């Protein structure tokens, strides 16, 4: 049975209803939730609604995060894509950009990376099934609903997955404080960025499969950037190398 999670907030739920209505099973609405646009989206998607129970909301929303009077139950199986299915349909070109999260633990970082990936032209965000922050309501909220704009791909075996993508012609870059300067890389072909976790960086098994490691040049005295901030800088640098316009 597919796992179910709760997502919350008008924007996140609205993005799900607009861009992936098949994932939404039910929407819980507070009695005073008067957003006409959101209610219209619920009707258009044909999703059943239920009154939001104040006594249950703390069990639906992580850490009592702001929910703006709207919480939706979604099927995670309709949100994520198995790697085997994704790679079988992947058409790799020189302009293909993929993002792989290597054991990124903070759900807010995962959500922010998904948001940047969707905004800056990535074709998908890949993540291992183990040792990785799962897709949760906090991830969806941090992505500002962009999780419904880009494929989220689950890899059962990260090393095998990377090896298969390399066979398809993708060049693999790990982000690392000791890598070559990001600004000097031309990104001439298909690109896979591997982003490591908050404390240890890229996992050794993934690092061994990287074709190169890249670092972000910074002023003296600054050790590193948050992984989500580093990701946004790297994705933008990739776009500049492709002379892409938005």
Is a pLDDT exceeding 90 seen at residue 238?
yes
143 and 115 in contact (C-beta within 8 Å)?
yes
Contact 106, 62 (CB under 8 A): no
Residue 194 Rama label (left phi>0; alpha psi -120 to 50; beta) = beta
- Residue written as tokens 């209803």? 17
Concatenated DSSP letters of 6-63: EEESHHHHHHHHHH-GGGEEEEEE-TT---HHHHHHHHHHT--EEE--TTTHHHHSGG
Q: Give 116-168 pLDDT, tens digit per residue.
A: 999 999 999 999 999 899 999 999 999 999 999 999 999 999 999 999 999 99
Q: What is the pTM of this model?
A: 0.92
Note the pLDDT of residue 1: 40
pLDDT at 220: 77
What confidence score (pLDDT) does residue 244 get? 66
Question: pLDDT-based confidence at 65, cuts 50/70/90?
Answer: confident
pLDDT on residue 143: 95
User: What distance in Å separates the CA atoms of residue 116 and residue 227, rounded to the nearest whole number?
Assistant: 12
Within 110-166, strands assigned E span 124-128, 152-155
Domains within the chain, CATH numbers bracketed: 4-78 (3.30.1330.30), 80-241 (3.40.1280.10)
Mean pLDDT of 3-31: 94
pLDDT surpassing 50 at residue 60 = yes
Taking only the tens place, the pLDDT of each residue in 206-230 is 899 999 999 998 887 777 788 999 9
State how far the Cα of 13 lies from the Cα of 150, in Å rounded to an integer: 16
């Amino acid at each position: 049975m597919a796992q179910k999670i709760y997502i919350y907030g008008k924007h996140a739920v609205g993005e799900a209803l607009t861009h992936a209505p098949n994932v939404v099973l039910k929407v819980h609405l507070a009695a005073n939730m008067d957003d006409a646009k959101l209610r219209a989206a619920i009707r258009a998607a044909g999703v059943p609604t239920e009154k939001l129970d104040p006594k249950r909301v703390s069990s639906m929303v992580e850490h009592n995060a702001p929910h703006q009077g709207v919480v939706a139950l979604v099927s995670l199986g309709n949100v994520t894509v198995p790697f085997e299915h994704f790679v079988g349909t992947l058409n790799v070109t020189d302009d293909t950009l993929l993002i792989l999260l290597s054991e990124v633990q903070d759900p807010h970082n995962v959500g922010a990376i998904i948001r940047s990936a969707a905004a800056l032209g990535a074709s998908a965000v890949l993540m291992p099934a183990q040792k990785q922050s799962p897709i949760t309501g906090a991830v969806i909220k941090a992505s500002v609903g962009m999780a419904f704009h880009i494929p989220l791909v689950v890899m059962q075996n990260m090393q095998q997955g990377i090896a298969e993508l390399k066979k398809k012609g993708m060049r693999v870059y790990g982000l690392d404080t000791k890598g070559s300067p990001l600004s000097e890389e031309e990104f001439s072909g298909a690109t896979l960025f591997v982003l490591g976790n908050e404390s240890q960086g890229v996992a050794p098994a993934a690092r061994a499969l990287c074709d190169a490691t890249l670092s972000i040049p910074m002023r003296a005295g600054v050790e590193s950037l948050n992984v989500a901030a580093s990701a946004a800088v790297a994705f933008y640098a990739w776009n500049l190398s492709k002379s892409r316009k938005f």
